[in-house]
Every structure is written in C-alpha cells, then in structure tokens.
Amino acid sequence: DGGITQSPKYLFRKEGQNVTLSCEQNLNHDAMYWYRQDPGQGLRLIYYSQIVNDFQKGDIAEGYSVSREKKESFPLTVTSAQKNPTAFYLCASSIDGGQGYYEQYFGPGTRLTVT
Amino acid sequence: QQPVQSPQAVILREGEDAVINCSSSKALYSVHWYRQKHGEAPVFLMILLKGGEQKGHEKISASFNEKKQQSSLYLTASQLSYSGTYFCGTEVGYQKVTFGTGTKLQVIP
C-alpha cells in the first residue's frame, strides 16, 4: 500500500535538545511538505520541497531545518532555537497531475511535547 | 499569510445546509479544500483552479471567485459523517499551499 509514514506518533524531549521527525513516502511524489498544527491556528507551513536537494522556507521556518537527500524522505529537525516547539506536526506530499491539478496526501502526524 | 475562514465553528442538524467561506489577501493560483476528523490526518476534498468552474461531488461543492480572491464550500443536506474541521488551502506560488485556521463543523442528529 502506498502512503506516508511519520514516526514516532508521540515524541517527548527536554528543552534545549534538537529532535528530528521522520517522514517517508512511497507514492513517488515529487513535492513534500511540513506543517505545524496548533489549536485554533490551523495548519502552518514550515518548509516544502519540490524536488530532491531543494527546499524552500514556508511561513514559520525559524527554528526548524530540513533536508531532501532522497525523493521518498523529508526529515524535519526541530532545533533548540524554536521557542515553542510543542505541537502536532504533519508531513504531506503531492504530485503535479497536470493543468495545475494536484492534491496533498497527509501522514498521520507526530505529536511533539517539549518540557 | 494565512487565508481567513468563516465561520470559525458551526453546528448543524442532519439535513441542514452550510456554507464555509475562505478569503485571501493575495492573488491565487488555486484553492484547495480539506476535511480533518478528530485525531486523523486531513483528507483532500477538492481543488478549484483559476478559470475553473464550480466543482463538487455528491452534496459538497465549492466555488472560486478569482477577482475577489475568495472561495466558498457548500455542504448540502448535511450528514453526521460531515463533522470535522474544514480547511481551505490557497496556492500563492507553485505548489506552495497555505492553509486557513479552519472551520469546525458539527452535525448533530
């Protein structure tokens, strides 16, 4: 079955530690995304990547870093510079279906708690 | 900048209709609509492209006014399964989608 996997589902870290969230897809999608979800604020774009070895900052990239060394993988590192890292993190991917049509497929998410 | 959705929340009885609005301050390539049920990942509903017509399937449809940079989602004869949070996503750059704050919809018997 094709899909997006995120691991782990729940993650706990101490303040001041960097943490990396995993995102893998076997849909052969070119584009991948990271969103952060907080209550009442919807989904906010952190980073996105349209092709391997290239990525762009989203609306809230400060305190985060990503890499895209392989088409199927797009890990997100939450650094100690992120002021309020506790949130629900969603990874997504998409492929251009032509004529501007595409849809995003989301992974199940990782809930990160930093204390 | 995130698009603005309204209302923030709505409660419907089964069979009633609802409209969810999405407004952006930027010119849009397209508008996406997703639904997220509690504890689950968002699921794609539809995409509306510039120059495209009203899209939809079954009892959920949407429109896109490019000039006003607005989109509306229409839910007709709502069912219990329609409950969830609805997000509009606006594409302001190629494959860069920015989501709104969401509209929480609850359908009750």
Q: Report chain B's mean pLDDT, rounded to a whole number.
A: 89
Which one has a higher pLDDT value, A30 or B54? A30
* Residues whose CB is less than 8 angstroms from the CB of residue B8 and which lie 6 or more positions away in sequence, other chains included: B101, B102, B103, B104
Q: Which two tokens stand for residue A38?
A: 């907080």
For residue A8, with 0-12 CB atoms within 10 Å meaning exposed, 13-18 middle and 19 or more buried, which class applies? exposed
Residue B52 has pLDDT above 90, yes or no: no
Q: How far apart are CA A34 and CA A87, in angstroms?
A: 12
How many CA atoms does the CB half-sphere of B27 hold within 13 Å?
3
Tell me the three state secondary structure of residue B86.
Answer: strand
pLDDT band at B68 (very low <50, low <70, confident <90, very high): confident
* Per-residue pLDDT tens over the stretch A69-102: 999 999 999 999 899 999 999 999 998 777 777 7
Whether A57 shows a pLDDT value over 90: the answer reads: yes
Grade residue B59 by pLDDT with cuts at 50, 70 and 90. confident
What's the confidence (pLDDT) of residue A40?
78
What was the pLDDT predicted at B56? 63
B92 phi, psi to nearest 5 deg: -105, -10
Residues in chain B closer than 8 A to A48 (CB atoms): 95-96
CA–CA separation, B72 and A115 (whole Å):
40
Interface test with A, best of B4, B6, B96 (most A CBs within 10 A): B96
Give the least confident one: A54-58, A59-63, B55-59. Answer: B55-59
Is the pLDDT at B55 greater than 70, yes or no? no
Question: What percent of chain B is predicted at pLDDT more than 70?
Answer: 93
Interface test with A, best of B24, B64, B95, B96 (most A CBs within 10 A): B95
CA A76 to chain CA centroid, nearest Å: 6
Report the pLDDT value the prediction gives residue B57, as an integer from 0 to 100: 65
Picking from A84, A71, A81, the residue whose alpha carbon sits closest to that of residue A23 is A71
pLDDT band at residue A6 using 50, 70 and 90 as cut-offs: very high
> What are B27-46's pLDDT values in tens digits?
888 899 999 998 889 999 98
- Cβ atoms of A11 and A21 within 8 Å: the answer is yes
What is the token pair recorded at A72?
A: 């199927």
Could you report the per-residue pLDDT of A12-26, keeping only the tens digit for each?
999 999 999 999 999
pLDDT of residue B82: 95
Report whether pLDDT(A103) > 70.
Answer: yes
Q: For residue B30, give every residue at least 6 positions away whose Cβ sits within 8 Å of its Cβ, in sequence order, or none.
A: A100, B47, B48, B49, B50, B64, B90, B91
Between A109 and A100, name the one with better pLDDT.
Answer: A109
Put simply, whether B43 touches A (Cβ < 8 Å) is yes
- Chain B residue with CA closest to A111: the answer is B39
pLDDT of residue B92: 77
Contact B30 A90 (CB under 8 A): no
**B35 in contact with chain A, both atoms CB, cutoff 8 A:** no
Is A108's CB within 8 Å of B49's CB? no
